[in-house]
Amino acid sequence: MGFDMNALLLLVLIAAPLLFAAAAFVAPSARTRRVCAVLAALITAVASVKLAVGGSFTLELPASWDSVPVILELLLGLLVLWISVRIRNWMIGLLALAQLVLAVIGEMLPHAPAGGPAFNVDMLAIILLLIVGLVGSAIVVYAIGYMRRHAEHAQPSSAGEGAFFFFLIGFLGVMNGLVVANDLRWLSVFWEATTLCSFFLIGYNGDEPSRRNSARALLINSFGGAAMGLACLVTVTSGRAETLQALITGGGAGGIILLPVALLCLAAFTKSAQMPFQSWLLGAMVAPTPVSALLHSATMVKAGSYLVLRLSPAFAGTTFSAIIAVVGAFTFTCASALAIGQSNAKRVLAYSTIANLGLIVACAGINTPLAYAAALTILCFHAVSKGLLFMSVGAIEQEIGSRDIEDMGGIMFKMPATTIIALIGMVSMLAPPFGMLLSKWMAIEASINSPLVLVLIVLGSAFTVLFWAKWIGRIQTVSYHEKYTIEKLPHTMIYTMGILAVTVLISGIAAVPLMPYLEPLVKGSFANTGALADHAFAPLRSVTALTQWPMLLFLGVGLAAALGALVRFKPSSVRPPFLCGENVEAPGITYNFRSLMDKSETAWSTSVYLKDILSESRMTFWANLVAAMIVLTMFGMIGAI
């Protein structure tokens, strides 16, 4: 197609964040830098919505551009190699060298004719572009106020705020490029760029934990980059076109055909932190909260799950697909169980992210219309809710000086607005009528013919309810106060959190009405593959015909009961809690009582974490071992075909 409005919007989505990122880096003042961040966020958000309205299209680049992705890939590889020398991590250097060698060899070999356009914007890509454009942009705006307060509490970073916003804003551009890339060479370029952005952002604080965890993130994702480079080489040597479209529609399920798909899935597992590659995402929690929010909700990890979803039509109906489902379901269950034993709020959110990404991968492996639709809904609803939760936790941490859930008792009085916003995010992860509950129900329904996957998803869902319910109960633990004062937060923080909270509420109400749109989305992803017959859509159609009013009635009754209790409440009815001895008389409601020898003691409570049963160190070792065996089985399955 020619250079029309769609192409212009796509160029804006990729180039505008990069240009504003560069402007923020060289900005002479903090004010100018913040203006760059706001403009980048606004332009990216508007362009993503405008492009989504325009619908699907493809973009073919002139032949003169063929060498551009190769040059960029070599430059990025050299940059990673230089970083490995600087931080003295030779394993990263070897992986970077391997990527360079694979790229050079692949370019020297004869190539098959182009198997499709360089960039492809279909409905799946549009969903991801909207997530990046709306949620990602909100996080960038949130970061303006957050980083101003962060500078007051944290040690000064040698990188500087300009570098922080350079990589944070630039992340939006490279992620948009990754989402629409159809040519494997362009995909590899943007894939490596997201890895580098995450490396610099995770290491922003400059202390020892930041340096160690940024190096780990670079190591694991460089391994995934090497797997992607090998996939490109195998594609060239097998005489196939170097595009995702060619891999998906090529037909057949032979080993040589599935091998590049398996290697790309392996790369996706590293990026989406599937077991045994999850440690880098847990380590990324040392970064400032906007980084965590961006990595977990709108970029980076979503790239991995997106790629598996993109490739799923290529292995539909194969044993390989069943192994993919087990990989995701196993990660979902283990990560959910590990989250139960965590009191660090950001670590709980990290395990929750890993678990939900695993559920997306499991749905991609189940590979039915219902499962694929469940994966799409998780992709959308999780992005909004998790972005909101990370923002809330970041605000709470800055206010109370801790991210420990046990220190959050009483924050309803200290930070009522932020606490209510956080509660909205948590409830949206497990209660009706919100989309996450519907998505998990759809995933369970879709796995009915895979007993192992079904059991794992059911267990993981139960564990999910446990750790969310504990946290919800803890932050509502508060003594009585006659008056609540709304906390003061920077406008960019409270406005973005408020907008996302409203979005979560609206999406919860709209979750069921949006269900009928899932079938055409699924059909579009499997178009021209012949992987799914029309009768396979029957379970999905039964879900899209779901009646919403019972769930809304349930919600309405709950809200009415809460409002009724609030109206009937009288301050004179408040009594001190019954403790282990006579209450100590004091103004207000206290948790002090008289103990032995008339000594005043303070009662305390804590949540149940089951650390003896769910020991993180022991469980992680065995879970990673089993997960590694499952991944190896995936490749062994290819060899047997």
Q: Is residue 482 pLDDT above 80, yes or no? A: no
pLDDT of residue 156: 62
Mean pLDDT of the region 430-441: 88
Banded model confidence at residue 245, pLDDT cuts 50, 70, 90: confident
Which residues lie closer than 8 Å to 412 by C-beta, 6 or more apart? 419, 475, 476, 478, 484
C-beta of residue 241 within 8 angstroms of C-beta of residue 234: no
Banded model confidence at residue 270, pLDDT cuts 50, 70, 90: very high
Banded model confidence at residue 13, pLDDT cuts 50, 70, 90: very high
Higher pLDDT, 157 or 379: 379
Query: Among residues 494, 483, 482, which one has the least CA distance to residue 146?
Result: 494
The chain-wide mean pLDDT, for the chain, equals 87
C-beta of residue 41 within 8 angstroms of C-beta of residue 21: no
Q: Is residue 287 pLDDT above 60, yes or no? A: yes
Most confidently modeled range among 115-119, 258-262, 326-330, 405-409: 326-330
Q: Is residue 252 pLDDT above 60, yes or no? A: no
Query: Among residues 177, 181, 511, 125, which one has the least CA distance to residue 309?
Result: 125
Q: Is residue 445 pLDDT above 80, yes or no? A: yes
pLDDT of residue 615: 84
Angle of helix 68-87 versus helix 208-237 axis, rounded to 10: 140
Helix (H) or strand (E) holding 59, with range, is strand 57-59
Distance CA 94, CA 192 (A): 15
Beta carbons within 10 angstroms of residue 145's beta carbon: 21
pLDDT of residue 584: 66
Higher pLDDT, 332 or 532: 332
CA triplet 522, 528, 529: central angle to 5 degrees?
80
Banded model confidence at residue 527, pLDDT cuts 50, 70, 90: confident
How many Cα atoms are found within 13 Å in the side-chain-facing hemisphere of 237? 13
Cα 87 to chain centroid, rounded: 28
Which residues lie closer than 8 Å to 420 by C-beta, 6 or more apart? none
Token pair, residue 29, equals 């003042």
Cα torsion through 558, 561, 563, 564, rounded to 10: 170
pLDDT of residue 389: 94
pLDDT of residue 1: 43
Most confidently modeled range among 106-110, 322-326, 548-552: 322-326
Q: What is the pLDDT of residues 559-617, one digit of tens each?
A: 888 888 878 877 777 766 666 666 666 655 566 777 767 777 776 677 788 887 888 88
Q: Is residue 95 pLDDT above 90, yes or no? A: yes
Query: Among residues 221, 462, 432, 448, which one has the least CA distance to residue 332?
Result: 462
Higher pLDDT, 248 or 268: 268
pLDDT of residue 553: 80
Which residues lie closer than 8 Å to 562 by C-beta, 6 or more apart? none
pLDDT of residue 599: 74
Banded model confidence at residue 157, pLDDT cuts 50, 70, 90: low
Q: Which amino acid is at 54?
A: G
Token pair, residue 198, equals 């995450």
pLDDT of residue 314: 87
Banded model confidence at residue 411, pLDDT cuts 50, 70, 90: confident
pLDDT of residue 100: 92
Q: Is residue 301 pLDDT above 60, yes or no? A: yes
Higher pLDDT, 579 or 100: 100
Banded model confidence at residue 453, pLDDT cuts 50, 70, 90: very high
pLDDT of residue 324: 95
Q: Is residue 305 pLDDT above 90, yes or no? A: yes
Q: Is residue 59 pLDDT above 70, yes or no? A: yes
pLDDT of residue 587: 56
Q: What is the pLDDT of residues 61-78, one digit of tens each?
A: 888 888 899 999 999 999
Q: Is residue 531 pLDDT above 70, yes or no? A: no
Which residues lie closer than 8 Å to 237 by C-beta, 6 or more apart? 109
Looking up tokens 């406008």 gives: 491
Q: Which range has the worst mean pLDDT, 94-108, 411-425, 510-524? A: 510-524
Backbone angles phi, psi at 435, to 5 degrees: -65, -30
What percent of the chain clears pLDDT 70, i.e. is strictly above it?
90
pLDDT of residue 478: 65
pTM as predicted: 0.92
Task: Provide the 3-class DSSP secondary structure of residue 239.
Answer: coil
What percent of the chain clears pLDDT 90, i.e. is strictly above it?
54
Distance CA 433, CA 350 (A): 24
Mean pLDDT of the region 152-171: 80
